[in-house]
């Protein structure tokens, strides 16, 4: 039987995405064994993140400043905008370094099943940003799920009348594939082979 403190830590960690109760207990044991080294580093990292993180009011990215580093970087391409479902997708794509433009985070995907409507996502902000002009290309980088594709088609329709090239990540993404689980090579290929939405 573990102490109450250890149980509390394990059950807190078990709520993190990708960690179940078993992995959480293993993480706790790993930390206990490294309480002189890794534990203080983790505490420090968690507390500075807790103090500093903000949501970028322009794109929805999470960073230590607003506007975020991407929005504030003048060297990035101002004319192309990549729309993603979640911040995790933005990070995955940006890590691949193949897209040099700006991003917009929707904060989810349309879903009739879960009752997610256009007004529940950052779609009004996106349309306002796009209608303000300055972009040549909008890359819809939704996940290759039914809901992701529904969302991409909805957005393409809403932007149809604007003088823009609207593209979509290439198929060949595994169906049901969530962007942030893809390896960088696959992601790079999907981005490079992006095609116009009809
Ligand atoms: Zn931003």
Strands 165-168 and 195-196: antiparallel
Q: Give the distance (Å) from ligand 1 centre to CA of residue 3.
A: 43
Average pLDDT on 166-192 reads 74
Residue 182, pLDDT score? 72
pLDDT, tens digit (0-9, with 9 covering 90-100), for 32-85: 999 999 999 999 999 988 888 999 999 999 999 999 999 999 999 999 999 999
Q: Give the distance (Å) from ligand 1 centre to CA of residue 62.
A: 8
**Which H helix or E strand runs over 93?**
helix 87-96
Q: Give the distance (Å) from ligand 1 centre to CA of residue 60.
A: 6
Lowest mean pLDDT among 34-43, 110-119, 137-146, 175-184: 175-184
Residue 170, pLDDT score? 80
pLDDT, tens digit (0-9, with 9 covering 90-100), for 110-132: 999 999 999 999 999 999 999 99
Residue 173, pLDDT score? 57
The domains located in the chain, with CATH, are 4-52 (1.10.8), 58-196 (3.40.1360.10)
Alpha-carbon distance of 137 to 80, in angstroms, equals 5
Q: Count Cβ neighbours within 10 Å for each residue of 105-141 and write b for 16 or more, e otherwise.
A: bbbebbbeeeebeeeebbbebbeebbeeeebebbbbb
Q: Give the distance (Å) from ligand 1 centre to CA of residue 196.
A: 25
């Amino acid at each position: 039987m573990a102490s109450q403190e250890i149980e509390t830590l394990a059950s807190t960690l078990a709520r993190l995405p990708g960690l179940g109760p078993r992995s959480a207990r293993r993480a706790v044991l790993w930390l206990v064994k490294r309480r002189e080294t890794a534990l203080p580093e983790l505490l420090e990292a968690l507390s500075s993140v807790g103090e500093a993180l903000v949501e970028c009011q322009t794109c929805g990215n999470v960073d230590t400043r607003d506007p975020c580093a991407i929005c504030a970087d003048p060297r990035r391409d101002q004319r192309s905008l990549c729309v993603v479902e979640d911040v995790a997708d933005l990070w995955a794509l940006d890590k691949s370094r193949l897209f040099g433009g700006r991003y917009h985070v929707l904060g989810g995907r349309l879903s009739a099943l879960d009752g997610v409507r256009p007004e529940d996502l950052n779609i009004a902000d996106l349309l306002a940003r796009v209608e303000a002009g300055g972009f040549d290309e909008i890359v819809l980088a939704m996940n290759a799920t039914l809901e992701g594709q529904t969302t991409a088609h909805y957005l393409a329709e809403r932007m149809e009348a604007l003088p823009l090239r609207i593209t979509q990540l290439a198929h060949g993404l595994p169906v049901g594939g969530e962007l942030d689980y893809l390896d960088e090579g696959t992601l790079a290929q999907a981005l490079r082979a992006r095609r116009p939405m009809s």
